[in-house]
Chains A and B, each alone.
Chain A
């Protein structure tokens, strides 16, 4: 997925996260993260953002995130939404099927 514009998703409410995905020259993901729970969950949040982008095939992007205590599923959902918006794409792919 190619990042061609700025995509933002999420809010500043408690338990949410705002993720901004922007185009970047060259390969790689530049990630800056601010979090209320940096010490306890900073690494985990960063991992979820990177994994989510990798799954979407985003190889090049500037990502900044401001976290207000979001769960992993929220971090992933906001990252997905921001990436699709930044790619100006609505060809959503939902690969994961819940196991019951």
Chain B
């Protein structure tokens, strides 16, 4: 028949003409087990994958930071790119850390000329603070990066995503269900989003497993090629066995006060939601909250964010009903993702983006955050150290602070001789109007924009003072520090979660 005679056929969408058997892919009759071994997605080397991806000078490559300080993938891939003579790339990682210092050479030799990341530490961070790069580093929060990727404002040409397990078709996961589990990292939350939006997606794994590697973090439908290497990372750097409770009395004091603040805040009611960090005081706060939950017979509806063994323990005890996990901080958390049905892996956009249809940070009752510095306007610095050198990560700090109904920052009043509470932070990462309470070892300060909260905390007998008094108290003990000297040159730009510039980092001045 003449298909053009079909009524309205030219108005039908997705219509590609008449069926011809010779145009279609030939059906395979090989046994599936044989067939998957011959998957065309599996390439023999990273070099081959780079070639196939069409990576060219000036493009943008992306990486995730789920392997933390044990990551081999970034260095392995950039070394290969350098060998192939490709230059002027933008490296857009969800975060970078100490182990990425070999990038210094690749910046010097022109392979990488721009970096976007959430954080930077170690030698690379120091060199950048001293003016290594011409183009300032763009620091984005996890939510800001997700938004930039979703809107394609940050366009990823090729994503190189390390995965502890992957099948020949690209179904990748943060753990290995089949046998050995050494390079397990748990959630692949940050990688998921890159896979979703990159033009080309290459999974690099050290455990090729049989199809289907289900449940998976990254689906085969988003993966172009798979490369098997000997090691994607050092298990010791990827995961700590279990984050342990602190015995530090000062951290315990801060944690106990933070838990009391939350209890008195009005947000600690049945079916509350929360996010906790992985620092000593945060973990201890979780333990004190656990005791209070048992005592008051209330449950947490969900815990969000970076997940630790402490949250998992509360989940397994029935105290936390659901876990939304963008990043697993320890082996217990990673194993829970594997084994617990209501421990859900989420991507960076679901976690914190401000442009999607709903991010989980906006469903938080409270979050507990840390600070390197906090100023009298409650602005928080989690990025530059007391010497002005970059050594931190924005992470989800501004996203959760903005999303949660109650944002609690915990910090010791003094670190060595450096006061945490100061007149003006060196670098604003999270604006003070999103911070509600500061808990220190020497008193609690409530943001003046939350007077009702202050009343509640005072009524509960908490040691409430003002942030100015905390600053005075710190300076009485240590003296007034002289300000850090910077040069004019800008080495880093802090983007707030809506990708507006909130602050800049300047080159440090050295004698």
Contacts and interface: CB of A to CB of B under 8 A. Distances in A.
Q: Do chains A and B touch in the complex (CB under 8 A)?
A: yes
Interface of A: 14-15, 36-37, 39-41, 43-44, 68-72
B24 interface: no
B485 A39 contact: yes
A33 B489 CA distance: 29
Given A71-B477, A71-B478, A72-B479, A39 B417 contact: no
Question: A interface, by DSSP: helix, strand, loop or mixed?
Answer: loop
Nearest to A15: B416
B416 A36 contact: yes
Interface in B376-413: 386-388
Contacts of B484: 39-40
Given A37-B386, A39-B387, A71-B477, A14 B482 contact: no
A44 B478 CA distance: 11
Contact of B416 (A39, A43, A69): A69
Instruction: Give 10 closest A-B pairs by Cβ, nearest first.
Output: A69-B416, A40-B481, A69-B417, A37-B417, A40-B482, A39-B484, A14-B416, A15-B416, A41-B417, A44-B479
Nearest to A16: B416
A4 to B, nearest CB: 32
Contact of A41 (B415, B477, B479, B485): B479
Interface in B451-486: 477-479, 481-485
Contact of B482 (A43, A68, A71, A72): A43
Contacts of A44: 479
Interface residues of B, number: 15
Nearest to B415: A69
Contacts of A43: 482
Interface of B: 386-388, 415-418, 477-479, 481-485
A15 B417 CA distance: 7
Contacts of A68: 416
Nearest to A42: B482
Contacts of B485: 39
Nearest to B482: A40
Contacts of A41: 417, 478-479, 481-482
Contact of B386 (A15, A40, A71, A72): A40
Question: B interface, by DSSP: helix, strand, loop or mixed?
Answer: loop
Nearest to A69: B416
Contacts of B417: 15, 36-37, 40-41, 69-71
25 contacts: A14-B416, A15-B417, A36-B417, A37-B416, A37-B417, A37-B481, A39-B387, A39-B388, A39-B482, A39-B484, A40-B386, A40-B417, A40-B418, A40-B481, A40-B482, A41-B478, A41-B479, A41-B482, A69-B415, A69-B416, A69-B418, A71-B417, A71-B477, A71-B478, A72-B479
A11 B188 CA distance: 44
A71 B416 CA distance: 9
A98 to B, nearest CB: 16
A7 B484 CA distance: 33
A39 B386 CA distance: 9
B289 to A, nearest CB: 29
A40 B485 CA distance: 10
Contacts of B418: 37, 40, 69
Q: Which of A40, A68, A71 has the most CB of B within 10 A?
A: A40
Contacts of A39: 387-388, 482, 484-485
Given A40-B418, A41-B479, A71-B417, 10 more contacts: A36-B416, A37-B481, A39-B388, A41-B481, A68-B416, A69-B416, A69-B417, A70-B417, A71-B477, A72-B479
A62 to B, nearest CB: 21
Q: Which of B387, B388, B416, B485 has the most CB of A within 10 A?
A: B416
Q: Which of B415, B418, B482 has the most CB of A within 10 A?
A: B482
Nearest to B417: A69
Contacts of B388: 39
A40 to B, nearest CB: 3
Q: Which of B387, B415, B417, B484 has the most CB of A within 10 A?
A: B417
Contacts of A14: 416
A69 B484 CA distance: 16
A85 B253 CA distance: 38
Nearest to B479: A44
Nearest to B478: A71
A44 B483 CA distance: 13
A45 to B, nearest CB: 9
